[in-house]
Amino acid sequence: MASGMENQGKVPANLKKKLALAVRKIQWSYGIFWSISTRQPGVLEWGDGYYNGDIKTRKTIQAVELNTDQIGMQRSEQLRELYESLSAGESSPQVRRPSAALSPEDLTDTEWYYLVCMSFIYDIGQGLPGRTLTTGQPTWLCNAHYADSKVFSRSLLAKSASIQTVVCFPFLGGVIELGVTDLVLEDPGLIHHVKSTLLEIQYPTASKKFSALIGDTRNQDDVDILDHDILDAKLVPVVRELDMASPDTCSNDFEANQLPENSFVVEVINGVASQAQSWQFMDDEFSNCLHHSVNSSDCISQTIVEPTNLRSVQDDDKANDPQGCDYTKPTLLESENGDVHYQSVLSSLLKTSHQLIIGPHFQRGNKELSFVAWKKGRFPSRQTTQGGTPQRVLKRILFQVPRMYDNALESPLEDGRENGVWRPEADEIGLNHAVSERKRKEKINDRLCILKSMVPSVSKVDKLSILDDTIVYLRELQRRVEELESCGISMEVEAKSRRKPHDMVERTSDNCGTHVTGSGKKPFVNKRKASDIDSMELETNSVVQTDVPADNLTVKINDRIVLIEMRCSWREGVLLEIINEVNNLHLDSHSVQSSTIDGILYLTINSKFTGTAVMSAATIKHALQRFALKRGNSSPF
């Protein structure tokens, strides 16, 4: 853990410790030193940093008790380590990343922000640190999380981490950046204080003596309540004393305490630590601790809602900032598109998962168990001559059994949401190279679906059959058109397979029922086309017809045969009512064909006048009018 100096040059010695001290003194969330990069001229990159904000978990239980500053240092180190392992993992993907002490799930948002900052580089003059360096003046940014990304490129990151104030000032050829989750108004005194802290002499190491008492109050669940009480008891009187001496030890008013503290600190190093002095120091720590313990307990009691991987941070940015940011893209995050939706799915899933369940230990190869231990080094030699197909039963269950059913014909896929069937658009994560290809395929599939619903086929869903049936259907239509044109008579071009009662009209293609579309078990599905080409022409005998085309009720009479065709909205019993009505009209129906599609009942009744009474078509039509669909909704499409 040590001094944690980064080897990127231009980072002054012991800066980390000073930075740590400074950040803790002012009780801010983090401090970063941006240094001029040795590798790349003219850019600022991560030099060193200290994290002092909320943490979520404390993974390891320390064998040696550390005091707060060491814990803080260790945390910052661990975060740096995690960053490095993640960036290493990205460049050479492995099954698992090399284990760091921390893993992404353990971090709070603020820690994420800190970690992601490590990947940023700034041109001199660009970005908050860059500009600070050129102007040479401190920059104080309030409401950093709402700042324009041109002013503060990490503003969206800051938003997710609730960093509200960011301050930069030039220091020793680089830029010191400090950030905090509270809103702090501009205070030059603070900057001055931090600067002087940074220029101080060595950070005391003798504080180890007090570690046992201070313990770790960051993480409430690791510390016994008892310890905390002890802590309280010991320090309370001291605090009061101190209060009299120096009114407050709050962050904004360090000036008064500055010098005395320094001298105390020096004396501590020398081992001549009078109790008052040492307790002053401790108290300082204690107030820090208190502050942080309050924070951390808040933190821990939160439910963990945020998704826990790097991509989430990136994606939030992308999602919220469609124009794109002008910051250098963090190198360890892949570019992904459009998975805002997925992030919400992930967060709901992982919120409810029980990740900490540790089940009973597995016994291996116990005599009482059926399973024997695996012998290592046993590599599989493929059993090629197994005889028969692999996964025979599984394949049969999946591929063949479903097709065994008699009417194992897939119901027509209506595209879109007409009948409440949803077609989710598939988002691809991290498959950039195949995205456009996939989208193209999706579009093709959509078109094919539409085609399938237009073509009266009973075949399977696969593309080849759809295209085949379309070809067949088109040819049939072409043939009919030719015939019609040649005959010069507009014909009834219905494709329903129905029995035509008589050749009452000269229809050359009245066997249009025998169109080539397979078994014909399925009634005509082509809701759109059939009704539209429903043009009834009349040659002989009275055919009363109101409008052409797309009428909801037509009655044709030929001699004593009456043909009624109608469309009505389906409801229970409507068919029976219609038949009754027809009977009441003294028509003996001898053939009824009906189908219900989309709530519309298509009805064809062939009937005969009983008795001698002959009615006109208009009368019949009038009687049945009430059942038919109203003109307004003749086409449900």
Partner 1 sequence: MENSTQESHHLRSENSVTHESPYPLYAMAVSSSPSRHHNHRIALGSFLEEYTNRVDVVSFDPDSLSIKTHPGLSFDHPYPPTKLMFHPPSSNPSKSDLLASSGDYLRLWEVRENSIESVAVLNNSKTSEFCAPLTSFDWNEIEPKRIGTCSIDTTCTIWDIEKNAVETQLIAHDKEVYDIAWGEARVFASVSADGSVRIFDLRDKEHSTIIYESPQPDTPLLRLAWNKQDLRYMATILMDSNKVVILDIRSPALPVAELERHRASVNAIAWAPHTCRHICSAGDDSQALIWELPTVAGPNGIDPMSMYSAGSEINQLQWCAAQPDWIAISFSNKMQLLKV
Element holding 44 (H helix, E strand): strand 43-51
CB of 108 vs partner 1, minimal distance in Å: 17
3-state per-residue secondary structure call for 555-585: EEEECCEEEEEEEEECCCCHHHHHHHHHHHC
**Of these, 2, 64, 322, 403, which contacts partner 1 (CB under 8 A)?**
403
Q: How far, CA to CA in Å, does 543 sit from each of 534, 553, 558, 603?
A: 14, 12, 8, 17
- Please state the φ and ψ torsions of residue 559, each to the nearest 5 degrees: 60, -115
CB of 315 vs partner 1, minimal distance in Å: 12
Q: Which residue lies nearer to partner 1 by CB, 268 or 333?
A: 333
Q: How far, CA to CA in Å, does 527 sit from each of 127, 531, 535, 622?
A: 62, 6, 15, 26
Return left, alpha or beta for 94; rule: phi > 0 is left, psi -120 to 50 is alpha, else beta. Answer: beta
What gap in Å lies between CA 593 and CA 578, rounded to an integer?
13
CB of 548 vs partner 1, minimal distance in Å: 30
Give how far the C-alpha of residue 567 lies from the chain's centroid of Cα atoms, to the nearest Å: 46
520 binds partner 1 (CB under 8 A): no
The DSSP letter of residue 252 is T
Q: Which residue lies nearer to partner 1 by CB, 39 or 96?
A: 96
CB of 436 vs partner 1, minimal distance in Å: 14
Check: CB of residue 494 under 8 Å from CB of residue 586: no
What gap in Å lies between CA 191 and CA 171, rounded to an integer?
11
Q: Which residue lies nearer to partner 1 by CB, 225 or 393?
A: 393
CB of 58 vs partner 1, minimal distance in Å: 19
- Please state the φ and ψ torsions of residue 608, each to the nearest 5 degrees: -135, 145
Stretch that binds partner 1, among 45-53, 197-205, 413-421, 568-576 (CB under 8 A): 413-421
Q: Which residue lies nearer to partner 1 by CB, 39 or 378?
A: 378
Q: Which residue lies nearer to partner 1 by CB, 250 or 444?
A: 444
The DSSP letter of residue 510 is G
Site for partner 1 in 422-451 (CB under 8 A): 422-431, 434, 438, 441-442, 445
92 binds partner 1 (CB under 8 A): no
- Please state the φ and ψ torsions of residue 284, each to the nearest 5 degrees: -60, -50
301 binds partner 1 (CB under 8 A): no
- Please state the φ and ψ torsions of residue 170, each to the nearest 5 degrees: -75, 145
226 binds partner 1 (CB under 8 A): no
Residue 180 forms beta bridges with which residues? 165
Stretch that binds partner 1, among 286-294, 388-396, 503-511, 576-584 (CB under 8 A): 388-396
Q: Which residue lies nearer to partner 1 by CB, 105 or 485?
A: 105
Check: CB of residue 60 under 8 Å from CB of residue 52: no
CB of 611 vs partner 1, minimal distance in Å: 37
Element holding 447 (H helix, E strand): helix 432-454
419 binds partner 1 (CB under 8 A): yes
Q: How many CB atoms lie within 10 A of CB 268?
A: 21
CB of 405 vs partner 1, minimal distance in Å: 5
Site for partner 1 in 589-628 (CB under 8 A): 596-597
Does residue 261 sit in helix, strand or coil?
helix
Does residue 439 sit in helix, strand or coil?
helix
**Of these, 392, 440, 443, 528, which contacts partner 1 (CB under 8 A)?**
392
Q: Cis bond leading into 412, ω under 30°?
A: no
**Of these, 498, 522, 586, 608, which contacts partner 1 (CB under 8 A)?**
522
CB of 606 vs partner 1, minimal distance in Å: 23
CB of 462 vs partner 1, minimal distance in Å: 8
Site for partner 1 in 319-378 (CB under 8 A): 339, 341-342, 344-346, 348-350, 352-355, 357-360, 362, 364-365, 367-374, 376, 378
Q: Which residue lies nearer to partner 1 by CB, 374 or 637?
A: 374
385 binds partner 1 (CB under 8 A): no
Site for partner 1 in 480-519 (CB under 8 A): none
**Of these, 250, 305, 394, 614, which contacts partner 1 (CB under 8 A)?**
394
Q: Which residue lies nearer to partner 1 by CB, 176 or 333?
A: 333
Q: Which residue lies nearer to partner 1 by CB, 346 or 484?
A: 346
Check: CB of residue 26 under 8 Å from CB of residue 44: no
What gap in Å lies between CA 50 and CA 17, rounded to an integer?
8
Element holding 591 (H helix, E strand): strand 587-597
What gap in Å lies between CA 544 and CA 217, rounded to an integer?
93
Q: Which residue lies nearer to partner 1 by CB, 417 or 499?
A: 417
Size of the site for partner 1 (CB under 8 A): 91
CB of 90 vs partner 1, minimal distance in Å: 11
Q: Which residue lies nearer to partner 1 by CB, 172 or 429?
A: 429
Residue 166 forms beta bridges with which residues? 141, 179
Q: Which residue lies nearer to partner 1 by CB, 260 or 402?
A: 402
Site for partner 1 in 30-69 (CB under 8 A): none
CB of 471 vs partner 1, minimal distance in Å: 21
| Amino acid, single-letter form, for residue 578 | I
Cβ partners under 8 Å of residue 538, min gap 6:
505, 545, 556
Tokens linked to 142: 């309030």
What gap in Å lies between CA 306 and CA 566, rounded to an integer?
59
Site for partner 1 in 265-294 (CB under 8 A): none
Q: Which residue lies nearer to partner 1 by CB, 85 or 589?
A: 85
Site for partner 1 in 451-480 (CB under 8 A): 461-462
CB of 21 vs partner 1, minimal distance in Å: 36
**Of these, 245, 401, 548, 618, which contacts partner 1 (CB under 8 A)?**
401
